[in-house]
A and B are shown apart, each in its own frame.
Chain A
Amino acid sequence: MSHGISRRTLLGAALSGGLITPLLAGCGALVPASSGSNALTVHTQISGAVAGAQVFSDVVAAYQRSTARKVALLKNGSDLPIVFETSTLAGKEADVAIVNMMGRTLSWTRLGATVPVNDYLDDWGLRDLIIPEALAEWTDDKGRLRAFPFTRTNWPVSFNTGLLEEAGVGAIPTTSDELIAAADALRSKGIGPVTVGGSDWSGQKMFLQILQGFITQDEARTVFSTGKISESPGAVAGVEHFVELRDAGVFVDNVQGYTSDSELTQFNTRKAAIVPAMSSALALVPNERAAEVTVGGWPMPSGGGVLERPSVIKSFNGHGIWISENGLKKLDLIKPFVQNLYTPEVTDEFILGSGRDMSRVTDTVSKDFPLVAQGSRLTDDDVTPVMLPDLLIPDAVFEPMIQATALAYGSAPADRIIDAFEKSYQAV
C-alpha cells in the first residue's frame, strides 16, 4: 500500500509542529504586549481600516519613545464592546477603552464597568480644552461624564455640483420642492438623485433626520426614546413627508437594498449626485470627485416644517476615552497619556493626517480632506443642526428599527411605516 504521505512524514510534521509551537511562542512579537505590570493597556476601536488608525498608532509610538513609558494597544472593531465586557467580568479589562457611545457602551458607567471622569477633567486640566457641547453630550442624566470626548461627527449632505449642472440644476437644493425638482432633472439625464444605505444604519439616520424636519428637539427626544410616532403629529407629518419624497423619486432606484458602503461608491462613481455621509466617510471621497462637490444640509420641508435652514446631524458622539476599574489603579500612567492626546500637536495630526473631526477646541481645519473641511465650516447661519438619536434609542431597538426604516425605503405607506417603527420598540 502506497500513500502520498508516509507515516514518518506525518508524525514528523506533527512532532515538528509540537516543537515549533513553543519556540514560536517565545518570539518577542508574539509575547502579549499587555503582560507587563508597568504597561498601560489601551483597548481601542481606532484601529485597522478606521480613519485615523495609523495616526493613532504613530501618536502612541511617539509617546512611548518620548516618555519611555510602555503602552499596550489592544485592537478591535465593532466587536470591542463585547470583548471589553467579558474582559471586565474576568477582571482583565484594559485600563483605558477608546470607543464610541452607542448601544452597549451606554450602560458602562451606570454598571460600574467604567468610572465617571468628572474629577479628572479639572485635575488634569482638560475642561478648557474640550468643546463644552461635547462634554454635555457625554454626560449622562445623573451628571456623570462617561468618558473624555475625543473625536466627533458631522453628518452633512454632499452634492455633486458637476452632475447637478449636467442636469440643468444651477444651485444645490435647500427646500424639499427644490430637491424634488432636482431629482426629476437628474433622473431625466439618467443620473441617480439621492443615494443612501436603505438597508442599514445610514438609511435609518436619514429617515430620522427627515423626521426632525417636523419636530422640535424636545419632541424628538420623546419620540426617539419612546418610539411613539403616532402620538406626535409632527413625527407623523415627518413620516408622510418622507413618503412624499420617496414617491417623488428623490432616492435612487432600489435604495432599499443599499448599504453605507454602496451609497458612497455610487456617489464616488457619479452614479448618484447627492449623498448624506458622516465626516469620516467624507474623508474617503477621492480628490478628483471632491473637486466637484459642495457640502450642505438636507433640504428643509417646503411647507409645515420646524426648520429655518437645511438640516445637518451634528454629534460629538465619536470616540471617547473611557477609564475602567483596572484603570483606577494606573491613574498616574493614564493622566500623561490622556493629556498627550489633547495636545494641539496630536489634535492637528488627527485633523490634518486623517480628516477626523475632533472634540478638542481647535482652529485647525483639514487641508487634504476638502469635504471634511467644508463640513466643519458649516455654521448655524448655513444649516440647522439636528440630533444624532443614537443616545436615545435603546440598545435592543437598533436592529428592529433598521428593519422598519428599510421598509420605509420600499413602497410601504406611512401608516405601515409608523406601525413597524413603533413595534420595533416592543423589544425593550
Chain B
Amino acid sequence: MAQRAAVARRLPLRDRIGSITSGTLAWIYAALLVIPFYYFIVSSFKTNEEIFESPLAWPTTFDLSNFTTAIQQADLGLAVANSALTTVAALVLTLLLALPASFALARARGRAGKIVESVFALGFLIPSFAALFPTFLLAAALGLFHTRTFVVFLLPATALPLSIVILTSFMRTIPRELEEAASMDGASSLQVLRQVYLPICVPGIATVLLLNFLSFWNAYLYPLILIGPDTAQRTIQVALPTLKVDAGTDYGVLMAGTLFTLLPVYLVYTVLQRQMQRALLSGAVKG
C-alpha cells in the first residue's frame, strides 16, 4: 500500500490527474451498474408498498416467499428447464458448425475463402425482426411450429455469423508452422483442428459460448411465436411476463422471478468470464 502511494507520488502531476479522473469515472460507472442491481436484489425481498415507499432501503426480512410465489405462479421451474434445453442444444450445434467452418476459413488463402467469409458477415445485415414472418412460415411448412426443435435449429443460424467471425479471427493468430508440423507428423485435417487449433482456441470458444448463451437465454420474440405458450415447452423469457398484470403487479414477485432467471446467466458468466477476458487481452496484444 505504502509502496503504491510512493509510486503515485513519483508520477508527474498530469499523469496523477489522469489517473484520479479515470479512477473516479470508473467508480461512477461501477455505481451506475451496482445501484440498479442492488435495487433489483433488495426489491425481490420486499412488498410493493416497501418498494415504492423506500426503494433503496434494506429489506426488513429475507423471506423467500416472493421467489416461491414467482416460481409457482409462472411455472418457472419448467421454464428454466426448457430454456436450458434449447440453449444448451443450440450452443452445441453452433460450436459443431462454427468450429470447422472457422478452421476452414482461417486456413483458406484463395479468393473463395474471402467470398465465403463475406457471405457469413452478410448475416449481420438481416434484422432479426424482419426474418420473423419467413421463419414462421418455414416452421409451419416443416411441421415444426410450436416445437423446441425448430428453435434449436434456428438459434445457431442467427449466431453463426458472429461466432465464425470471432473464431476465424482467433484461429488466424495461430502460427501456420504449428499446423505444418502436425501435418508432417501425419495428422489429418480433423486431427489438426482437434489437437492443434482447439486447445489454443479455448478462450475464443469461451467467448463465443458466453455471447451466444446470453443471446439464446434472453431470446423472447422467436420462442414466444415459434415455441408457443404450452407450459411444458415455453422458455423462461416467455413465462416471466405472466407475472405482470394490468393492474396491481406485485413487483417483489416479478423481481424475484427475474432474479431467479438470472442465476444461470451469472453462473455461466462466472465460469466463462476469465476465458473471455483472456481472449480479449490476447486480441489486444496480438492485434
Interface residues of A (CB under 8 A from B): 1, 3-7, 10-11, 14-15, 17-18, 20-21, 24-25, 27, 29-34, 43, 47-51, 53-54, 72-80, 82-83, 86-87, 89-92, 201-202, 260-262, 264-266, 268-269, 277-278, 280-281, 284
Query: Which of A18, A27, A29, A281 interacts with B92 by CB under 8 Å?
Result: A18
Q: Is B136 an interface residue (CB 8 A)?
A: yes
Ordered by A's residue number, 11 sampled pairs between the chains whose C-beta atoms are within 8 Å are A3-B275, A10-B205, A33-B230, A48-B245, A49-B244, A50-B245, A76-B242, A79-B241, A90-B146, A280-B247, A284-B248
Query: Which of A21, A90, A260 interacts with B247 by CB under 8 Å?
Result: A260
Query: Which of A10, A11, A47 interacts with B206 by CB under 8 Å?
Result: A10
Q: Chain B residues with Cβ under 8 A from A89's Cβ?
A: 136, 140
Q: A30-B81, A261-B247 are in contact. Are A92 and B146 (CB under 8 A)?
A: yes
Residue in B closest to A41 when the chains form the complex, CB atoms: B230
Query: Which of A1, A18, A24 interacts with B81 by CB under 8 Å?
Result: A24
Cβ-defined contact, B140 with A5, below 8 A? no
Q: Is B203 an interface residue (CB 8 A)?
A: yes
Cβ-defined contact, A30 with B78, below 8 A? yes
- Most chain B CB within 10 A, of A24, A49, A79, A87, is at A49
Cβ-defined contact, B275 with A5, below 8 A? yes
Query: Which of B232, B250, B251 interacts with A29 by CB under 8 Å?
Result: B232
Q: Is B139 an interface residue (CB 8 A)?
A: yes
Query: Which of B51, B229, B245, B274 interacts with A74 by CB under 8 Å?
Result: B229
How far, in whole Å, are A266 and B206 apart by their CA atoms in the complex?
Answer: 47
Q: Give min CB distance, B175 to chain A, whole Å.
A: 13
Q: Nearest 7 CB-CB pairs, A to B?
A: A48-B242, A17-B88, A281-B247, A90-B140, A284-B248, A74-B229, A21-B89
Cβ-defined contact, B73 with A277, below 8 A? no
Q: Chain B residues with Cβ under 8 A from A5's Cβ?
A: 202, 206, 271-272, 275
Q: A3-B203, A24-B85 are in contact. Are A265 and B247 (CB under 8 A)?
A: no
How far, in whole Å, are A32 and B75 apart by their CA atoms in the complex?
Answer: 14
Cβ-defined contact, B225 with A83, below 8 A? yes
Cβ-defined contact, A25 with B251, below 8 A? no
Cβ-defined contact, B233 with A14, below 8 A? no
Q: Give min CB distance, B277 to chain A, whole Å.
A: 10
Cβ-defined contact, A77 with B232, below 8 A? no
Residue in A closest to B229 when the chains form the complex, CB atoms: A74
Q: Chain A residues with Cβ under 8 A from B232's Cβ?
A: 29-33
How far, in whole Å, are A354 and B190 apart by their CA atoms in the complex?
Answer: 63
Q: Chain A residues with Cβ under 8 A from B75's Cβ?
A: 75
Interface residues of B (CB under 8 A from A): 48-49, 51-53, 73-75, 78, 81-82, 84-85, 88-89, 91-92, 95, 136, 139-140, 145-148, 198-200, 202-203, 205-206, 224-225, 228-234, 238, 241-251, 253-254, 271-272, 274-275, 278
Q: Chain A residues with Cβ under 8 A from B234's Cβ?
A: 75
Query: Which of B202, B247, B250 interacts with A10 by CB under 8 Å?
Result: B202
Q: Give min CB distance, B80 to chain A, whole Å.
A: 11
Cβ-defined contact, A30 with B136, below 8 A? no
How far, in whole Å, are A280 and B238 apart by their CA atoms in the complex?
Answer: 23
Q: Give min CB distance, A93 to chain B, whole Å.
A: 10
How far, in whole Å, are A78 and B229 apart by their CA atoms in the complex?
Answer: 12
Query: Which of B49, B85, B146, B242 interacts with A21 by CB under 8 Å?
Result: B85
Q: Give min CB distance, B240 to chain A, whole Å.
A: 9
How far, in whole Å, are A9 and B74 apart by their CA atoms in the complex?
Answer: 34
How far, in whole Å, are A176 and B249 apart by their CA atoms in the complex?
Answer: 31
Q: Chain B residues with Cβ under 8 A from A77's Cβ?
A: 241-242, 244-245
Query: Which of A54, A72, A86, A91 interacts with B136 by CB under 8 Å?
Result: A86
Cβ-defined contact, A48 with B229, below 8 A? no
Residue in A closest to B249 when the chains form the complex, CB atoms: A261
Q: Chain B residues with Cβ under 8 A from A15's Cβ?
A: 92
Cβ-defined contact, A29 with B52, below 8 A? no
Q: Chain A residues with Cβ under 8 A from B230's Cβ?
A: 32-34, 72, 74
Q: Give min CB distance, B111 to chain A, whole Å.
A: 33
Cβ-defined contact, B49 with A83, below 8 A? no
Residue in B closest to A90 when the chains form the complex, CB atoms: B140
Cβ-defined contact, A49 with B78, below 8 A? no
How far, in whole Å, are A5 and B198 apart by their CA atoms in the complex?
Answer: 12
Cβ-defined contact, A261 with B248, below 8 A? yes
Query: Which of B92, B140, B147, B278 interacts with A14 by CB under 8 Å?
Result: B92
